[in-house]
Amino acid sequence: MTANDKISGALPTPTLHAENGVLTLEGLALPELAEQFGTPSYIYSKAALTAAFESWQQALAGRRALVCYAVKANSNLGILSVFARLGAGFDIVSGGELARVLAAGGHAGKVVFSGVGKTRDEMRQALKAGIRCFNVESAAELERLDAVAGELGVLAPVALRVNPDVDPKTHPYISTGLKGNKFGVAFADAQALYRRAAALPNLRISGIACHIGSQLLDPAPVAEAAQKVAGLVDRLADDGITLDHIDLGGGLGIRYRDEAPPVVADYLAPLLKVFEGRNEELYFEPGRSLVGNAGLLLTRIEYLKPGETKNFVIVDAAMNDLARPALYDAWHEVVEVVAPSTESQVYDVVGPICESGDFLARERRLAVAEGDLLAILSAGAYGMTMSSNYNTRPRAAEIIVDGGQAHLVRARETVAALFADEKPLS
């Protein structure tokens, strides 16, 4: 398998491709980026980010709709600023993410606040900023939000996130719409809870929300959930409760290995058909599908370690940089950055962390030598945002490539900075 075979479908061409045996991103050679910024580093393509967002906009042309980027997928200010300039809204799950959106130039009036554990301080922060809507996920949260809004003398715009109990057919860790999941309010309880919300003096009912999971490859479960939501909206109207918007979440998957996710227009078609002829504005909250295949993790080989039963490639990236393989046993394609000149072997690609679970890829055929560079593909989503400082490892640098320019959008951490706020006992 050649490098070109491996990257086929992983990033939109010509964003990432091989030129004279060297991988380039938007025309910039990855070895030059490694020389300039060091490794490990996350490298993102602005062209890929833009193309992904515009595919949602084009699929929704002619509909009243708002595309809210799910900040948890990748919260770097550089990436947020790209989407803000494209007119995106934002889906947040913490006060910290709200602060990031505003710092990146995002508009609070296009922010929806999801999540099951919003604190009083986060509610105050969001109300003072003037966010578009709170996606409320429990009866207790509804009462708390009413109280906080009353203290501030404002009305809190709310939508209930309903749990339709639909199987999204994805990894159980990223399934969010079944009865046993922690997210949302039970579908059977939603109508009564809307009546309660309507009676609370400091709330303004704005919409309804539903999100059943992530890395979805089949639109059928989402369309099933949409049908259930539409029926509930009609029953609410019979109660005199009218809604401004219907939030159908995100979740569209990407290709990591051999998946065949639908294009955005095909994914949305059955959902849009459900709401044909209705007046409510539709919200969508894509994350992975906007950033996942717009980024890669660039890493350098420290050692080759042959073994009796396994061969190991030991790289300078680790599970603290990219947790998905250890957490989900997730697959990321691994590509030689420079065309190999040696014989290939089967390796596990592992990092230096003191855990047997510290692997980035298993049983990959690679032709490599010590000091070579590897690109770990499809790493733009849930890479840097899930990273840590385990083993006192500074987190990676982040770079956005824009045409012929590379922009450092997060400097590599220093070890000194990791414990600057700590003090030894005297």
pLDDT at 7 over 80: no
Q: Which single residue is written with the structure tokens 């690679």?
A: 366
The model's pLDDT over 142-200, given as tens digits with 9 standing for 90+, comes to: 999 999 999 999 999 999 999 887 765 544 444 444 455 667 899 899 999 999 999 99
Q: In this predicted structure, what is the pLDDT of residue 166?
A: 76
Q: Which of 106-115, 211-220, 415-424 has the least mean pLDDT?
A: 211-220
Q: Phi, psi at residue 401, to the nearest 5°?
A: -95, 130
Superfamily grouping for domain 114-286? Alanine racemase (3.20.20.10)
Single out the catalytic residue among 68, 133, 210, 354.
354
Q: Which residues contact 62 (CB under 8 A, 6 or more apart)?
A: none
Angle value at C-alpha 258, between 252 and 259, nearest 5 degrees:
20
Helix axes 95-103, 120-129, angle to 10 degrees: 30
pLDDT at 391 over 90: yes
Q: Say if 3-45+292-418 and 114-286 have the same CATH topology.
A: no
Q: What percent of the chain has pLDDT over 90?
A: 83
State yes or no: 255 annotated in a binding site: no
State yes or no: 141 annotated in a binding site: no
Q: What is the spatial distance between Cα 252 and Cα 286, in angstroms, rounded to a whole number?
A: 7
pLDDT at 3 over 80: no
The model's pLDDT over 84-120, given as tens digits with 9 standing for 90+, comes to: 999 999 999 999 999 999 999 999 999 999 999 999 9
Q: Are 349 and 334 in contact (CB under 8 A)?
A: yes
The model's pLDDT over 23-43, given as tens digits with 9 standing for 90+, comes to: 999 999 999 999 999 999 999
Helix axes 46-59, 77-85, angle to 10 degrees: 40
Which residue ranges make up each domain of the chain? 3-45+292-418, 114-286
Q: In this predicted structure, what is the pLDDT of residue 218?
A: 87
State yes or no: 285 annotated in a binding site: yes
What average pLDDT does the structure give for the chain?
92
The model's pLDDT over 278-327, given as tens digits with 9 standing for 90+, comes to: 999 999 999 999 999 999 999 999 999 998 899 999 999 999 999 999 99
Q: In this predicted structure, what is the pLDDT of residue 147?
A: 98
pLDDT at 418 over 90: yes
State yes or no: 287 annotated in a binding site: yes
Q: In this predicted structure, what is the pLDDT of residue 176?
A: 45
Q: Are 353 and 319 in contact (CB under 8 A)?
A: yes
Task: Tell me the pTM.
Answer: 0.94
State yes or no: 324 annotated in a binding site: yes
State yes or no: 64 annotated in a binding site: no
Nearest to 311 by CA among 342, 346, 268: 346
Q: In this predicted structure, what is the pLDDT of residue 181?
A: 65
Q: Phi, psi at residue 407, to the nearest 5°?
A: -115, 120
The model's pLDDT over 41-71, given as tens digits with 9 standing for 90+, comes to: 999 999 999 999 999 999 999 999 999 999 9
Q: Which single residue is written with the structure tokens 């980027």?
A: 69
Mean pLDDT of 231-258: 94
Q: What is the spatial distance between Cα 75 and Cα 409, in angstroms, rounded to a whole number?
A: 11
Q: Are 177 and 225 in contact (CB under 8 A)?
A: yes
Between the alpha carbon of residue 35 and those of residues 15, 23, 40, the distances in Å are: 20, 14, 11
Q: Which single residue is written with the structure tokens 């509804």?
A: 142
Domain 3-45+292-418 carries which CATH code?
A: 2.40.37.10
3-state secondary structure the chain: CCHHHHHCCCCCCCCEEEECCEEEECCEEHHHHHHHHCCCEEEEEHHHHHHHHHHHHHHCCCCCEEEEEEHHHCCCHHHHHHHHHCCCEEEECCHHHHHHHHHCCCCHHHEEECCCCCCHHHHHHHHHHCCCEEEECCHHHHHHHHHHHHHHCCCEEEEEEEECCCCCCCCHHHECCCCCCCCCEEHHHHHHHHHHHHHCCCEEEEEEECCCECCECCHHHHHHHHHHHHHHHHHHHHCCCCCCEEECCCCECCCCCCCCCCCHHHHHHHHHHHCCCCCCEEEECCCHHHHHHHEEEEEEEEEEECCCCCCEEEECCCCCCCCHHHHHCCCCCEEECECCCCCCEEEEEECCCCCCCCEEEEEEEECCCCCCEEEECCCCCCCHHHCCCCCCCCCCEEEEEECCEEEEEECCCCHHHHCCCCCCCC
Is residue 364 very low, low, confident or very high in pLDDT (cuts 50, 70, 90)? very high
Nearest to 111 by CA among 124, 119, 103, 97: 97
State yes or no: 395 annotated in a binding site: no
Q: In this predicted structure, what is the pLDDT of residue 174?
A: 41
Is residue 8 very low, low, confident or very high in pLDDT (cuts 50, 70, 90)? low
Told to judge if 133 belongs to the known catalytic residues of this protein, a careful annotator would answer: no
Q: In this predicted structure, what is the pLDDT of residue 124?
A: 98
Q: Are 169 and 218 in contact (CB under 8 A)?
A: yes
Nearest to 189 by CA among 243, 145, 142: 142
